[in-house]
Every structure is written in structure tokens, then in C-alpha cells.
Structure 1
């Protein structure tokens, strides 16, 4: 009888070996994590070509991975402990979802044979715990299916709109044998229809006063320079959408109009006089306060270009086009022709201020930062009470030069600056963080020290949650309960983790401190005591 070669399947390997083989094929070379007992077998004989980035809290770990994915343009791999660890991480998972950051999260689970008895440290409903802030979650029915689930998780995370996914893996799955899973190629680009592009191009051709409103997707999808070309071709003003988390347009450009507020009436007032509004790479619109009336000027036609079908579905007005932003902008550039239109005037930048005062306020702090920052520096910001001042006095001029959280949650940007630094080796990173924000994740400084990253942590110390105090006025309140923070020594907190630093209270001292920090090319903390 002839031999049947089909009797021999592919060579079997452990789930752990198959998973790391898949990770290599997908381009992963590091895992961000804070380990627990149910994750230990995943890291048995940890491969030497991988790097484990340890963070001292799960929330910080996810934020580090988010910063790395945002700055690299690739998905990041995260490992969390079971129920408690995922719970600790939920604030940053929420931010990753709002940031549209592709994260592949693995979470530990107790051994399968123990699950009927509700053992210690098990996750009762592991796929439900992170919802709705993951795009997909799974605990495979069989150990052998873990690599298949990880492959699907990656592809789901990378599909537009990108976002986090989670795979729960029982602790005894890693040593079970299974077949390897190849990392297959996929084209994730969403191309716009010719009809939709022609409609926008025709509207631009007929418009007398068009405006573009750009959002984070422009920078995220690599469309920054092409968006500048499109605005110049059309001689159209450009606004940044509310709650944008990236630098979407050069903020000193002659066509840059400014930042839209997060209120319905404020947006309509800002866009008044326009006869066409083309929103590119953002929702239409993100509000923070209750409003009434129209969403855009009644005289303006509206088009909305987004890679998020959900944002297109709830868009209240206009015509929505679902497409990858770079693809859509490229198509518009190729279709639209130059126009004979009087160029509109963008915003007027404030004049530089003197820095000779004996005390330092927000404006002078930002002026010193603007004057001293290296040309190739990247700002990772979480100082919501002074964000308007930052937008006015610390303009971002390059793609990939600014990152923050689009969720409104605190504790993201300090650890995210670590991921950004890892993704952009050599670039000076400025983590501009409020005093209240920093305390959500101050232990992330330890990871920056461990990896000797060139991050200057600038803590804007105004001794409280000033954003909350300002927002209280919306409700007619004079101040906010529990919004004062006093007596924290941020330099001591940094030094206790091996990071040098200093406290400053006048502009000249800040200038000297920043010079020291940038020259060191290592973690350094500057606490700025604001008047």
C-alpha cells in the first residue's frame, strides 16, 4: 500500500512557541507588561529577540504601549494580569479606544480545570470585563486556538477605526501543543468612492469661503503633508477639531485658523461666514458642554470624511464619506484643481512676552519652553487647565510632534511619553504634565530611568485640579470641592525613583533647568511652581 503523506500534519509546537512565532511575523519585538501569577508560563524561556518593558502599574503599562503605537504607527503588544489587572488598566484602555490606538492585549486567566470552582484570581467574565472599550475580546474555547485568536486580534486592532483588543489566556494553555499560525498580509486601506470624492471636489470648486476642520486621524494616517497641500491648493482656512489628540496642521501656517471649542454654539460662531465645511479625520463634533441650535452654520454645506463608520452613523448633518484619511486626501488632491479664490487670513499668533519677572505664570512658562525646546522635540501633554494657553503659545509645527489623550481621562501622558520615546529613539521628549495629572501615574518615571530615555518631565504645579475649578463655572459654581492639592514634592518623588530634577519658580531658573535637562539626554524632572 502506498504511503499517505497527508497523515503527517504540520510540526506541532507549544502554544507559547506558536504565539511568539506569530508575534515576530507581525513585527512585534517587545511586550509592555506588569506580570501576575497567571501570566508566568507565557514567559518561560523568554526569547532573547524580545524585550519586556516593565511598568509599575497596569494603567501605566497600557499608556506606555499606547504612546509607542501612536508614535510608531504600528500595533503594540501588552500583557496584563487577570481580572484585577485588567480592571486597573481600564482607564488607559478607555483612552486607547478613544485614541484609536491598535493594542493587542493578552490577559491571564486561571487554569481551565479550576474555572468551574471560581478560583482565586480568576476572571469571571473575561471577555465582558473590558467592553465596550475594546473592539473585540475572546477567551478561546481550546488552548490550541490561542494563536489563531491572537492573529485575529491583531487584524481586528489594525482595521479602521483602529483600537485595542483583548485575548484572555488560561495559565495552562501555554504548554499545550498546537500548529503554528502564519502572519498573513492584509491591506487595511479603505478607499473612498469616486462619486463621493467628485461631490466634495465639485463643492470646493463652487465654494467662495470653504473651511477644513482636521482631526487626529490626519496625523495618525500619515496624511499631514498632503492635507497642507490640499489646504494651500484650495486657499481654505483650517481649524482643528475639538478634543484632537495630535498635531493635525502646522499651527503657524498662514491658513491655520485655530482650535474649535467643545461647544455647539462656539463652533457655529467660529465657522460663521463659511459656505462649505469639510471635516477630515475627526467626528462632527465632540462636545463637552450642553448646547442647542444647529451644529454648523445654516449657510454651509457639510462633508464629513472619517475612517470610523460609527462616527459617520451618528454624524448629525451633512454627507459622510468612510475612507482611510490618507487615501481620501490623496484622491481629493488628484481630483481638485487650483482655484481663483482670495486667501483667507488665519489666526494671529500672540507676541512673545518678556521673561524678566521674579515669578513665573503660565504664559511665561510656555514662552520659555517655546524658546528652549530643541527643534526635533516631541511634546506629550496632559495639563488640561492650561491647554488653551499651550495651543496659543507653544505651537506644534511638524507631524508626529504632539500627543495627548483624546478621552479626557488623567494619568495617560506621563507613561505615554515613555512609549513615544521608545518609538522615536534619540528624539528629545517633553512631557508637559499638570501636578494633579502626574499623580495618577508618577511611578512611570521608574521605567524611564530603567531605559535611560531622553524625557524632560515638566510638572506645571498650580497646586490643584484647576481644570475642574474652571469647569465649575459652567454650572454656576464658585470653585469645586476636593480640587486643591498641596504639599507634594515632585522632585523628591522623581529622585526616589532614580531621576534627577529641580524645582523652579522664576523664568530664568526654568531656562537654566531646561538647558540642563536637554543636555543630559536622560530622564530629568523640572517642577515649575506657578504663581
Structure 2
């Protein structure tokens, strides 16, 4: 993704810029004029004479800042710039850097470093091994050997971040580099699309056309590559059952479509059970497969053939079975559409309808999500981090359109609320729902302050069940007796309304089912952010 430099911003011929001027001009060219940060002393020189065509999005903690940039970069499909504070700031941000890496989100992380002249004396707030600190969860990291090389390092960082598989990169910049003279960086275009190898893709196309009962497994790569329409067309052409991959961070297929089969769990034997009866499985934009617990037996049903199309060569390399094609999903799907005419297979049976949820006393999570689904507008975007309720959400909160659902691929908490801020910034005019569990909400509540400060149209929906539900529900898998609670998994006495109000944001608590629909409508229709705390079972 490239952007033309506005004529008024173009550098003068022969003028030697400072590092600051050259870097800002490079960011303009690539359309990265929104910067996310929580500033520290070693970063202050970057922001002297901050240009009017840039905006700085302040987050109140470094992990929150990275989460906001993650949501923004995903929603714009362009790298976002994050400014972190030396070693301490990078350390604080590591949880959401890990999530950005797993989400394959292109981020340029700039980390402040102490002035070069005092680095030999182990100064206060310096980073001893700046390029190593964020590894292995950055694709590339660099502290330029000379101040003059900072703009070139930033140019390289952008292209590395945007090259599949996308991901975060880090550039450590000493505080006294910004005022040094350097040269303008000549903007370049670098291909970020991976064309499939024709021979392998033809083999996949032949197997797909010849299969008796094909199934697709779609992952986050479908949305990242803009392949939504092509994948729908390909599934309809082959009348293939479509499943969502385990731990999928995006929606890759309309969930009300007659071909949609549901969601694969992150357990080997249960994946095999869901795919039994299909003689060919095509995985699009996802690992094959993500597991959460140890499993036994085959990875696919006996006799079933598997092919995978993914833009990450590492995922292609470790897949235990099948043929892997390293390619951008949209290019591969469009090519596969030409390999076979409309098939004559029978349509698979439609997915079984879910029984309506009952309110319950206390209010059930299923009823709360069913009601939210009924009252939200069709163009609402949901950013979710409620792992204990995800299985229920997948039954009662359906996503029918592209770019309408985001979550994290890492399993690490703290991404959801900040990512909702980033998505809202990237999609002005769209209502964003941040659907968060009570445990998750305590990792990054600072995002509420930024949402209020910027008056973003975000509704924070907190599912308060007073426990780490995912851990308690998962405990039997690890040998806990039925009903036995792991230590440290109860969360009594949290007051999210008071927390929101303490940051200036309106908040309301709902405990009665008959009050829920009206309260949700008011929250969703508000101009600015509102937090609504739902007391659920």
C-alpha cells in the first residue's frame, strides 16, 4: 500500500533534512500519519515541532498503545507506527507485541534509546540489548550504526512489516539522532502479494474438483488478504462445507450462509470428528491446525486428503500432513475459481439451528449475547476478548459481512479493549462494540480513557460473571474434579461502572434480563463511548 506525497509536503531539491524530517516524510509517503504512543524522556526529541498533518494517539500504558495500533493496522491494512519508551516500555508492551505477531499485524515499533554519547556509561533508562529485547516476536529489529541511517532503517522496517507474513518490527533510536543531518529517503514500492506456484495450485484445483465431499477451513488470512468474496464464490462453486479454523482472529465466511458448518475446536480428535465424511479439506489462510491441548490419533480423518494455502512459510513447513501452497489467499482463491466449472454435487445439509436462549436468573450469557445480536445495527464491528464466552458467542452472535469481527490469535489478554479504539479510529462513522470478559477487562482498562478523550463511538460491553470462566471451565481437561475450582480464578467485587466513570466515561450496570434490550440500545445509539456492565451467570 503506497501513498503519493502531497506537493506541499515534498522536500526541496538539495536541502539536507534532519533525521526527524526525513523520517516524517517517509511516513507521509506510506500513509502513516497516525502515531500511537506513551511518551518517555528518550522519545521527546522525535516530537519537537510535531507537524499539523500528523496525529498522536495517547495511550496510558505501553501494552495498550500496541493494542490500539494493532486494531488500527488491521482495519486499514497498512502498517501503524508505535512509539515505545526504551527498555521499560518495550517490556511493558511485550504481551500485545506477542499478540500482534500472532495476528500477523504490520507494526513499526520505535523504541527510544539514550544518547549515543553516554551509552558507554550505562546511563539511566538505556536499553542494554535493544535489538534483542522484543525477540522472537518481531520479524526484524535494528539499532542503526549511525544516526544518518535511521531513515533507511525505517524504510526497511516498513517493507519488512508489510511483506507476508506481516508482523511487527522494531527500530531502536538514540535520543540525539533526531537532530542530525541526513539524506532524504527515496520511496520505493515492494511487492507484498505472493502468487501461488502454478504446478501446486493446479494439483490442488484438480483434487478439489475431483473430490466427493470437500470442506473448507477458513482462517484470518481470508480477511487479511481481502479474499472474502473469492472464498465465498469458491465455496459456492464447489458446494463445500465451510468451517472456521481453531482460534481464528477474524471472520472469514458469512455465518448465516447455508454452507457454513461452524467453528473447529482447538483439539485434534474433535477436529477430526467435525471433518469426518469429507474426503478433501482445503485450509485457507490458517494453520493446519492450531491445537490447545495434547491430542492423539490422526490430524485428519483416515483417507481424507488435505491442502493448505497460507502466506506464512513457517506454517506451511510445520503442517503435519497434506500439500501446502505458500501464497496470498485472494490470488490463490481467484486462480482456483478458473480450474473447475460449477459442480454437480449435492449441497451439504444446513447447519442445525440454535435453540433460543432463555433469560435465566441470574441472566445467562447466552441470553445477553442473543439480545446484543438482535439490537445491534448491521454495520456494527465487534472486537472481542471474552474467551470464557467465545463458544456461546459463536452460537448467538453471528457475523455476516467482511471486516465485522476482530479478536486475538495469541490467547494473551489485554488486546481487545485497545484494539477496539484502533478499529474505531480507522473506521470513522462505524459503531464498534468491545465485547470483553471481566477478567480480560482488567488487563487494559486504560483504553476507556483514550476512547472518552477522543469521543469515539465505542460501546464497551463487559460480561461480568465474577470469575475467570475459561480457566474454571477448562480445568477438567487438566484433571480437576467436576466442580473443583483452580486457585485464583474467582473475581468478586469488581465495579466496572465506577472504573469507567473514573476515566470520564458514562457507565451503566444491567442485572435484570427485562432491562437489557433498552439499555443496550441506548448505549449503542450514544455519540461517544459508553460502558455497559452485564451481570451474567
**TM-score if structure 2 supplies the norm length?**
0.96
Is 2:118 the partner of 1:114?
A: yes
Q: Quote the offset at 1:350 in angstroms.
A: 0.7
What is residue 414 of structure 1 aligned with on the other side? 417
What is residue 389 of structure 2 aligned with on the other side? 386
Q: Quote the offset at 1:163 in angstroms.
A: 0.2
What is residue 62 of structure 1 aligned with on the other side? 66
What is residue 533 of structure 2 aligned with on the other side? 527
What is residue 508 of structure 1 aligned with on the other side? 514
Is 2:203 the partner of 1:199?
A: yes
Partner Cα distance (1:364, 1:506) in 2: 11
Partner Cα distance (2:197, 2:330) in 1: 14
Is 2:257 the partner of 1:256?
A: no
Partner Cα distance (2:449, 2:340) in 1: 51
CA deviations 1:260-297 (Å, max 9, x no partner) are 11011111111011110111100010000001111111
What is residue 436 of structure 1 aligned with on the other side? 439
What is residue 320 of structure 2 aligned with on the other side? 316
What is residue 398 of structure 1 aligned with on the other side? 401
Partner Cα distance (1:354, 1:440) in 2: 31
Partner Cα distance (1:336, 1:131) in 2: 44
Structure 1 ranges of 4+ moved more than 6 A: none
Residues 10 and 179 in structure 1, CA contact (< 8 A), matched pair in contact too:
no
Partner Cα distance (1:187, 1:133) in 2: 23
What is residue 105 of structure 1 aligned with on the other side? 109
**Any idea what SS the aligned residue of 2:254 has?**
coil
CA deviations 1:286-325 (Å, max 9, x no partner) are 0000011111112111111100000011111001000011
Match of 1:306 among 304, 310, 313: 310
What is residue 477 of structure 2 aligned with on the other side? 474
Match of 1:228 among 232, 237, 243: 232
Residues 191 and 328 in structure 1, CA contact (< 8 A), matched pair in contact too:
yes
Partner Cα distance (1:336, 1:69) in 2: 36
Unaligned runs of 5+ in 1: 1-8
Is 2:378 the partner of 1:375?
A: yes
Q: Quote the offset at 1:507 in angstroms.
A: 2.0
**Any idea what SS the aligned residue of 1:135 has?**
coil
Partner Cα distance (1:103, 1:403) in 2: 17
Matches within 5 A, 1:66-215: 66-215=70-219
Match of 1:296 among 297, 300, 312: 300
**Any idea what SS the aligned residue of 2:133 has?**
coil
Q: Quote the offset at 1:334 in angstroms.
A: 2.1
Is 2:332 the partner of 1:352?
A: no
Q: Quote the offset at 1:501 in angstroms.
A: 1.2
CA deviations 1:438-481 (Å, max 9, x no partner) are 00001110000111000000000000111011111111112211
Q: Quote the offset at 1:358 in angstroms.
A: 5.6
What is residue 496 of structure 1 aligned with on the other side? 502
Aligned-residue CA RMSD (Å): 1.0
CA deviations 1:198-244 (Å, max 9, x no partner) are 11111012110110111000011100111011000000100111010
What is residue 5 of structure 1 aligned with on the other side? none
What is residue 8 of structure 2 aligned with on the other side? none
Q: Quote the offset at 1:113 in angstroms.
A: 1.1
Which has the larger displacement, 492-501 or 359-368? 359-368
What is residue 4 of structure 1 aligned with on the other side? none
Q: Quote the offset at 1:349 in angstroms.
A: 2.7
Partner Cα distance (2:316, 2:33) in 1: 35
Is 2:45 the partner of 1:41?
A: yes
Match of 2:464 among 446, 461, 465: 461
Partner Cα distance (2:430, 2:353) in 1: 26
Partner Cα distance (1:348, 1:216) in 2: 24
Q: Quote the offset at 1:55 in angstroms.
A: 0.1
Partner Cα distance (1:110, 1:508) in 2: 58
Residues 212 and 345 in structure 2, CA contact (< 8 A), matched pair in contact too:
yes
**TM-score if structure 1 supplies the norm length?**
0.97
Partner Cα distance (1:89, 1:359) in 2: 37
